[in-house]
Homo-oligomer: A and B are copies of this chain.
Amino acid sequence: MCGILGIYSNKPVNKKLFFGLSSLQHRGQESCGITVSKDDSLKRVKGMGMVSEVFKEDNLSCLDGNIGIGHVRYSTDGGSYDYNTQPLMGFSKGEELSLAHNGDLINHQILRTRLEEEGMMFQTSIDSEVILFLIARYYNGDIVEAIKKTMSLIKGAYSVVLLLEDKLIAFRDNYGIRPLVMGESDEGDIIFSSENAPIEIMGAKVKRDILPGEIVVVDESGINSYFYENTQKPKHCIFEYVYFSRDDATLDKVNSYNFRRRCGEILSREAPCDVDLVVAVPDSGIPSAIGYAQETNIPFAEGLVKNRYVGRTFIKPTQEEREMAVKLKLNPLRHVVEGKRIALIDDSIVRGTTSRNLIKRIREAGAKEVHLRITSPPVINQCYYGIDTPSRMNLIAANHTIEEMRELIGADSLAFISIDGMQRATLIRDDRFCKACFDGNYPVDPIRI
């Protein structure tokens, strides 16, 4: 769960990267960083914290190059250490390279061990360093060739922006698991981004998605596209629409808001319930709840207040303080839920602890019944491609029947959308989505490698 961004321009890109990364902040709040190319060398600033915390007028003004990349990170692979922040940077054969990566490699440990046995040393614990390392290793003046060789070795999900002194490159794994969008402004800026929001914010237009297995190189000679030969049928992560992306994202031809709304509609038919109010768990549950409500003609209401100003705090909490922190984020609206039978719409259940806590608090606020409706199927498999789901052992749906889950969570009833229903919500017939966390069909087998 990360966001990446790259811009090729003929004017300084620092402020654009700042605002663009800010609009990707929902994809990771742990750390962030920017590298730009300026005066024939790369300059980088990165740190722990959100974009508005790490970047200030003074350090941003030092990053006034015309080509640059950025990253926001929510740790998946590798722990929460300063040295694991991105963009990464490397020196090789007289060239400086910097890279920002979204996704997860499944053969990270194998490649790492092999490279270490050959005498390599790593300076982070993240898989992204293996990608940068291999590119640097295979680079001999032809960067596309180096990326292709790297792609032949790395397995898993990766959307990458790569910065050289005079080039901006974007590439995406064979299955196109994680998103990567390309935009262009009237002034000729080329932008690569995990979502379309940064492109729109900069006043540019989305041109297209980077295709699975595609490598796009932007430099003085223009925009050139290459393909890694072994390209597969796409398997875009459906969880991007379920939960991860912004409502205004349109990734690989599916719009997240419409998907979410349709999931709510479909779910209302698959699992109706006799309630007074439809309430969403904000923010990603809201469109689904609206869909659910309108399809059933049950009133939709905001029953939970989300604090818009809560970022990460560095206050180490006691148990009592931890509860305050939870309540600070989401507070039930007593006046709305009191005495009411509620259909609570959430996007997914992973461990089940958040749902249990939330339902308990909604009941305390006076709700008579709470019927939980989930707009994705039960998560029964771990994700190996960059979504931070826990191992099967901790997935509530992998170890319990729906009735057991209902009881554990404390809901009056519990229902999930069907896998087929979710597929239909994409409006795409073709099965071009990775739904492995729901159905176990991993496009890249995490076991055999």
Report the bound CA distance from A277 to B161 in whole Å. Answer: 39
Max count, chain B CB within 10 A of own CB: residue among A123, A203, A255 = A123
Residue pair B310, A22 in contact (C-beta under 8 Å): yes
Q: Which residues in B have their C-beta under 8 angstroms from that of A29?
A: 309
Chain A residues touching B, range:
35 or more
Residue pair A120, B120 in contact (C-beta under 8 Å): yes
Asked whether any CB of chain B lies closer than 8 Å to the CB of A107, the reply is: no
A109 to chain B minimum Cβ distance, whole angstroms, is 10
Asked whether any CB of chain B lies closer than 8 Å to the CB of A302, the reply is: yes
Residue pair A325, B19 in contact (C-beta under 8 Å): yes
- With A121-B136, A308-B308 already in contact, the answer to whether A287 and B302 are too (CB < 8 A) is yes
Q: Which residues in B have their C-beta under 8 angstroms from that of A261?
A: 301
Q: Which residues in B have their C-beta under 8 angstroms from that of A182?
A: none
Copies of this chain present in the complex amount to 4
Report the bound CA distance from A201 to B323 in whole Å. Answer: 8
Report the bound CA distance from A299 to B409 in whole Å. Answer: 32
Q: Which one of A50-58, A219-227, A391-399 is at the interface?
A: A50-58
Report the bound CA distance from A312 to B301 in whole Å. Answer: 30
Residue pair B93, A117 in contact (C-beta under 8 Å): yes
Report the bound CA distance from A15 to B201 in whole Å. Answer: 37
Q: Which residues in B have their C-beta under 8 angstroms from that of A124?
A: 91
Asked whether any CB of chain B lies closer than 8 Å to the CB of A143, the reply is: no
Q: Which residues in B have their C-beta under 8 angstroms from that of A88?
A: 123
10 tightest Cβ-Cβ pairs between the two chains A and B: A121-B136, A119-B137, A25-B309, A255-B335, A19-B324, A90-B121, A201-B327, A91-B122, A248-B305, A92-B121
